[in-house]
Amino acid sequence: MKVLITEEMLVRAKVESEKRDAHIQHHFEVGHLSYEERDVLGFLGEFACCELLGINWKDNIRGNYLTIDNYDFVINGLRTDVKTETVPNSYAQKILNSSIDDDGVYGRRLINKGQFNLLNKYDIVIFSLFIRNKLDYWYPIGYLETDYIMKNHLPTYKRPDGGNYPSPGSPVPTSKLKPIKDLLK
Protein backbone atom coordinates (compact mmCIF):
# COMPACT_ATOMS: atom_id res chain seq x y z
CA MET A 1 0.00 0.00 0.00
CA LYS A 2 1.37 3.40 -0.99
CA VAL A 3 0.23 6.84 -2.11
CA LEU A 4 1.71 8.74 -5.05
CA ILE A 5 2.89 12.23 -4.09
CA THR A 6 1.63 14.67 -6.70
CA GLU A 7 3.25 17.94 -7.71
CA GLU A 8 0.22 19.73 -6.26
CA MET A 9 0.81 18.07 -2.87
CA LEU A 10 4.50 18.98 -2.93
CA VAL A 11 3.86 22.63 -3.82
CA ARG A 12 1.19 22.96 -1.15
CA ALA A 13 3.38 21.25 1.47
CA LYS A 14 6.11 23.83 0.82
CA VAL A 15 3.62 26.70 1.10
CA GLU A 16 2.18 25.37 4.38
CA SER A 17 5.66 24.73 5.76
CA GLU A 18 6.62 28.36 5.17
CA LYS A 19 3.40 29.57 6.81
CA ARG A 20 3.96 27.38 9.88
CA ASP A 21 7.71 27.95 10.25
CA ALA A 22 7.49 30.93 12.62
CA HIS A 23 5.09 29.07 14.92
CA ILE A 24 6.68 25.62 15.23
CA GLN A 25 9.10 24.28 17.82
CA HIS A 26 11.40 21.60 16.49
CA HIS A 27 12.06 18.90 19.07
CA PHE A 28 15.07 17.17 17.53
CA GLU A 29 17.60 17.36 14.70
CA VAL A 30 18.58 14.90 12.01
CA GLY A 31 21.66 15.23 9.84
CA HIS A 32 20.03 14.29 6.54
CA LEU A 33 17.16 16.84 6.55
CA SER A 34 16.82 20.54 7.29
CA TYR A 35 13.96 21.79 9.47
CA GLU A 36 12.18 23.01 6.33
CA GLU A 37 12.56 19.65 4.59
CA ARG A 38 11.21 17.86 7.68
CA ASP A 39 8.23 20.19 7.82
CA VAL A 40 7.49 19.54 4.14
CA LEU A 41 7.70 15.77 4.74
CA GLY A 42 5.29 16.10 7.65
CA PHE A 43 2.74 17.91 5.52
CA LEU A 44 3.20 15.42 2.68
CA GLY A 45 2.58 12.58 5.14
CA GLU A 46 -0.65 14.19 6.35
CA PHE A 47 -1.82 14.91 2.79
CA ALA A 48 -1.04 11.38 1.58
CA CYS A 49 -2.66 9.78 4.62
CA CYS A 50 -5.83 11.79 4.02
CA GLU A 51 -5.76 10.68 0.38
CA LEU A 52 -5.46 7.02 1.43
CA LEU A 53 -8.28 7.29 3.96
CA GLY A 54 -10.66 9.10 1.60
CA ILE A 55 -10.39 12.50 3.29
CA ASN A 56 -10.01 15.56 1.06
CA TRP A 57 -6.50 16.68 2.05
CA LYS A 58 -7.04 20.20 0.68
CA ASP A 59 -10.08 20.71 2.90
CA ASN A 60 -8.07 19.45 5.88
CA ILE A 61 -5.43 22.22 5.70
CA ARG A 62 -5.55 24.63 8.64
CA GLY A 63 -6.19 28.33 8.15
CA ASN A 64 -3.27 29.31 10.40
CA TYR A 65 -0.60 27.87 12.66
CA LEU A 66 -0.72 30.28 15.58
CA THR A 67 -1.29 27.40 18.01
CA ILE A 68 -0.54 23.68 18.10
CA ASP A 69 -3.30 21.65 16.50
CA ASN A 70 -5.39 19.23 18.52
CA TYR A 71 -5.00 16.49 15.89
CA ASP A 72 -4.35 16.10 12.17
CA PHE A 73 -7.82 14.74 11.28
CA VAL A 74 -10.59 12.44 12.52
CA ILE A 75 -11.14 9.00 11.01
CA ASN A 76 -13.83 6.62 12.29
CA GLY A 77 -14.36 8.99 15.22
CA LEU A 78 -10.67 8.78 16.22
CA ARG A 79 -8.54 11.91 16.64
CA THR A 80 -5.45 11.09 14.61
CA ASP A 81 -1.85 12.25 14.45
CA VAL A 82 0.37 11.23 11.52
CA LYS A 83 4.09 10.65 12.11
CA THR A 84 6.25 10.47 9.00
CA GLU A 85 9.94 9.62 8.81
CA THR A 86 12.51 8.90 6.13
CA VAL A 87 14.22 5.50 6.13
CA PRO A 88 17.07 4.16 3.97
CA ASN A 89 15.72 1.86 1.26
CA SER A 90 17.08 -1.44 2.65
CA TYR A 91 15.49 -0.82 6.06
CA ALA A 92 12.30 0.59 4.54
CA GLN A 93 11.81 -2.63 2.60
CA LYS A 94 12.17 -4.67 5.82
CA ILE A 95 9.66 -2.43 7.60
CA LEU A 96 7.19 -2.65 4.73
CA ASN A 97 7.43 -6.42 4.37
CA SER A 98 7.26 -6.92 8.17
CA SER A 99 10.71 -8.51 8.45
CA ILE A 100 12.36 -5.72 10.49
CA ASP A 101 13.73 -6.76 13.89
CA ASP A 102 12.03 -4.59 16.55
CA ASP A 103 15.28 -4.50 18.52
CA GLY A 104 17.52 -3.76 15.52
CA VAL A 105 18.31 -0.60 13.59
CA TYR A 106 15.08 1.14 12.43
CA GLY A 107 12.99 -1.49 14.26
CA ARG A 108 11.22 1.07 16.43
CA ARG A 109 9.05 4.03 15.49
CA LEU A 110 10.12 6.95 17.66
CA ILE A 111 8.00 9.71 19.13
CA ASN A 112 10.29 12.43 20.42
CA LYS A 113 10.01 13.21 24.14
CA GLY A 114 9.00 16.78 23.27
CA GLN A 115 5.98 15.43 21.39
CA PHE A 116 5.16 12.64 23.87
CA ASN A 117 3.08 14.91 26.12
CA LEU A 118 0.90 15.83 23.14
CA LEU A 119 -0.26 12.22 22.75
CA ASN A 120 -3.14 12.76 25.18
CA LYS A 121 -4.76 14.98 22.50
CA TYR A 122 -5.05 12.04 20.08
CA ASP A 123 -6.71 8.65 20.04
CA ILE A 124 -4.30 7.06 17.57
CA VAL A 125 -0.97 7.70 15.87
CA ILE A 126 -0.46 6.59 12.28
CA PHE A 127 3.19 5.86 11.51
CA SER A 128 4.47 6.23 7.97
CA LEU A 129 7.60 6.63 5.91
CA PHE A 130 9.23 7.88 2.78
CA ILE A 131 12.19 6.02 1.36
CA ARG A 132 15.10 8.33 2.10
CA ASN A 133 15.86 10.80 -0.71
CA LYS A 134 12.69 9.80 -2.59
CA LEU A 135 9.49 11.77 -2.28
CA ASP A 136 7.58 9.93 -4.97
CA TYR A 137 5.57 7.62 -2.70
CA TRP A 138 4.36 7.73 0.90
CA TYR A 139 4.04 4.42 2.73
CA PRO A 140 1.82 3.78 5.76
CA ILE A 141 3.43 1.45 8.31
CA GLY A 142 0.54 1.05 10.75
CA TYR A 143 -1.17 2.70 13.69
CA LEU A 144 -1.49 2.34 17.44
CA GLU A 145 -3.68 3.76 20.19
CA THR A 146 -2.05 6.59 22.12
CA ASP A 147 -3.18 5.17 25.49
CA TYR A 148 -1.16 2.03 24.77
CA ILE A 149 1.89 4.04 23.72
CA MET A 150 1.77 6.27 26.82
CA LYS A 151 1.45 3.29 29.18
CA ASN A 152 3.97 0.97 27.54
CA HIS A 153 6.60 3.02 25.72
CA LEU A 154 7.86 5.89 27.83
CA PRO A 155 10.58 8.12 26.35
CA THR A 156 14.14 6.91 26.88
CA TYR A 157 17.66 7.43 25.60
CA LYS A 158 18.29 3.66 25.66
CA ARG A 159 17.98 1.67 22.47
CA PRO A 160 17.10 -2.03 22.76
CA ASP A 161 20.51 -2.93 21.27
CA GLY A 162 22.30 -1.21 24.17
CA GLY A 163 23.12 2.02 22.35
CA ASN A 164 21.56 5.43 22.86
CA TYR A 165 19.19 7.53 20.79
CA PRO A 166 20.52 11.04 20.04
CA SER A 167 17.58 12.49 21.98
CA PRO A 168 15.00 10.75 24.18
CA GLY A 169 12.05 9.21 22.41
CA SER A 170 9.22 6.78 22.90
CA PRO A 171 10.39 3.63 21.07
CA VAL A 172 7.33 1.84 19.68
CA PRO A 173 8.13 -1.64 18.30
CA THR A 174 7.08 -1.87 14.67
CA SER A 175 5.55 -5.32 15.26
CA LYS A 176 3.03 -3.78 17.70
CA LEU A 177 1.46 -1.58 15.01
CA LYS A 178 -1.97 -2.41 13.71
CA PRO A 179 -2.57 -2.57 9.96
CA ILE A 180 -3.70 0.67 8.33
CA LYS A 181 -6.30 -1.31 6.37
CA ASP A 182 -8.28 -1.63 9.63
CA LEU A 183 -9.00 2.11 9.36
CA LEU A 184 -10.31 1.78 5.80
CA LYS A 185 -13.55 0.10 6.88
pLDDT by 10s per residue, the chain, length 185: 999 999 999 999 998 888 765 545 544 455 555 556 778 888 999 999 999 999 999 998 877 666 677 889 999 999 999 999 999 999 999 999 999 999 999 999 999 898 898 899 999 999 999 999 898 999 999 999 999 999 999 999 999 988 898 889 999 999 999 999 999 87
pTM: 0.89
What's the pLDDT at 17? 85
Number of domains present in the structure of the chain? 1
What's the pLDDT at 28? 46
Contact 130, 84 (CB under 8 A): yes
Question: Which of 56, 61, 48, 59 minimizes the C-alpha distance to 128?
Answer: 48
Write the CA distances from 104 to 1, 27, 109, integer angstroms.
24, 24, 12
What's the pLDDT at 37? 73
C-alpha 59, offset from chain centre: 20
Write the CA distances from 91 to 5, 55, 105, 182, integer angstroms.
21, 29, 8, 24
What's the pLDDT at 161? 85
Classify 94 as helix, strand or coil.
helix
Residues spanned by the domain of 61: 3-184
What's the pLDDT at 24? 53
What's the pLDDT at 30? 54
